[in-house]
Amino acid sequence: MMSTPADAPHSAPVQPAAPERPAPPPAVGEPSHASPPDRPRTRFRGDIEGIRAVAVVMVMLFHAGVPALSGGFAGVDVFFVISGYLITTQLLSEQNRTGSVALIDFYARRAKRLLPAANVLLLTAAVFVFLMVPRGRWGQIGGDIVAAVAYLLNWRLAERFTHPDPTMPPSPVQHFWSLAVEEQYYLIWPLLILLAVALAKVSGARLKPVLATALGLLAAGSLAWSVTTTVGAQSPAFFQTTSRIWELAVGAGVAMSVGAWARLPKPVAVVLGWAGLAAVLVTCLLFTPMMDFPGYTAALPVLGTAAVIAAGCAATRGGVGTLLGIAPLRWVGALSYSLYLWHWPMLAIAATYWGPLSMSTGLLVIALSIIPAWLTFHFVENRIRYSRRVSQSPRLALGIGAGFSALGALAGIALLLAS
């Protein structure tokens, strides 16, 4: 599967021997990791905001060392499905409306949404590494920061864990591996949709069957790769995009068949949604870091999340959305991207400086991480995301994203040079 406590942040708690206002809530067609959406364009989906909150809480409490939540690392799989659904919904909506996908506009939206907050975190992490982490680790962490800026950290970690060093503490930016997987998906999936559009026009075929065939082949190939390469508890497959893309494809498949899900009989939709949430929670309670993962084992949280999203398309009263849409979960869901960014570096650096963290100390650090997460959310994310000037200029949005990325990269390079 994945890793032991000194390995992947989504597979082990910190024990150094270790995808609306506050923000507008998510609407159909808006992207996710932990990343909250822009202002809603369509029907509010409180269930999606809520399942995002469940996912980030799973991950954070797992990292804090809560023993009852031994499968909390699977919160990342929940994020992958959410991202696949929301991004595909957005892209297909644009394609249906305009006949194409404006790539520059799409990438500009991703840049203004994700890059400022991520690189503020990376810059801050570099400062604390300089102040609190032994010099002998600066070079490796600096390289990790540069790879995180480029959204290639997952491949760097996959290579590292081909021959893992059990004595090496986890990197304070190791959690960027999952963001890297999503960014690679954001880069490739719009291009594949445009290719499918072109093939449909040339062949005279309807777009949906062409796209469904391409998605099915992609998902099948990725799942086969994931199953065959996921061997043992320290498998590099845990980090590889090739072993994860099927999870995003499942979410994309739900988006492509949303009309069918919306026609579900109401009682069926209610049962499906609650069963999906139960599958996610069972994963959190019963899975362990020593299981082979992702592989076929990841199907439980992946299909559970897909069931929650699909059931919500029917907008049923009494469904799982009545729980997931409550205000506290919506608040956490809106803040989830910043919470995800900040909680892990604070845990990892605290463990490096003070030694093994007890569960109570880990929970205290998690609670403290809400402060920088809230500040980043309001004064970095929202200031840029809701700027009229930035929203009206894709070039400006891309430039701002590039500027923040340059700061993050320079921070990593500085650690490399000083090591």
> Which amino acid is residue 78, in one-letter code?
V
Picking from 68, 66, 84, the residue whose alpha carbon sits closest to that of residue 76 is: 84
Q: What is the pLDDT of residue 353?
A: 84
Q: What is the pLDDT of residue 162?
A: 84
- Phi, psi for residue 241 in degrees, rounded to 5: -60, -40
For 102, the 3-state DSSP assignment is coil
What is the Cα Rg of the chain in Å?
Answer: 20
CB-based contact 233:290 (threshold 8 Å): yes
Picking from 290, 357, 288, the residue whose alpha carbon sits closest to that of residue 70 is: 288
Q: Burial-class residue 75 by CB neighbours within 10 Å (0-12, 13-18, 19+).
A: buried
Give CA 308 to chain center in angstroms: 17
Give 27's strand partners. Answer: 44
DSSP state at residue 319: S
Compute the CA torsion angle 206, 212, 213, 217 (nearest 10 deg): 160
CA distances from 356 to 15, 93, 159, 279 (A): 5, 49, 26, 32
Q: How many other C-beta atoms lie within 10 A of the C-beta of residue 297?
A: 21
Place of tokens 């023993």: 67
Distance of alpha carbon 158 from alpha carbon 358, whole angstroms: 28
Picking from 314, 307, 257, 243, the residue whose alpha carbon sits closest to that of residue 280 is: 307
Distance of alpha carbon 415 from alpha carbon 411, whole angstroms: 7
Q: What is the pLDDT of residue 30?
A: 40
Phi-psi region of 321 (alpha: psi -120 to 50; beta: other; left: phi over 0): alpha
CA distances from 107 to 29, 111, 120, 177, 376 (A): 15, 6, 19, 20, 21
Distance of alpha carbon 265 from alpha carbon 97, whole angstroms: 29
Q: What is the pLDDT of residue 400?
A: 98
CB-based contact 9:63 (threshold 8 Å): yes
- Phi, psi for residue 230 in degrees, rounded to 5: -85, 95
> Which amino acid is residue 255, in one-letter code?
A
- Kindly report the pTM of this predicted structure: 0.90
From first to last of the 419 residues of the chain, give the pLDDT tens digit: 333 333 333 434 443 333 333 333 333 334 455 444 444 345 679 999 999 999 999 999 999 999 999 999 999 999 999 999 999 999 999 999 998 899 999 999 999 999 999 999 999 999 999 999 999 999 999 999 999 999 999 999 999 988 777 778 999 999 999 999 999 999 999 999 999 999 998 988 899 999 999 999 999 999 999 999 997 655 799 999 999 999 999 999 999 999 999 999 999 999 999 999 999 999 999 999 999 999 999 999 999 999 999 999 997 789 999 999 999 999 999 999 999 999 999 999 999 888 899 999 999 999 999 999 999 999 999 999 999 999 999 999 999 999 999 999 999 999 999 98
Distance of alpha carbon 398 from alpha carbon 116, whole angstroms: 11
CB-based contact 70:289 (threshold 8 Å): yes
Angle, alpha carbons 414-417-419 (nearest 5°): 105
Distance of alpha carbon 401 from alpha carbon 36, whole angstroms: 17
CA distances from 304 to 254, 282, 295, 298 (A): 12, 10, 16, 10
For 163, the 3-state DSSP assignment is coil
Q: Please give the structure tokens belonging to residue 267.
A: 């009682």
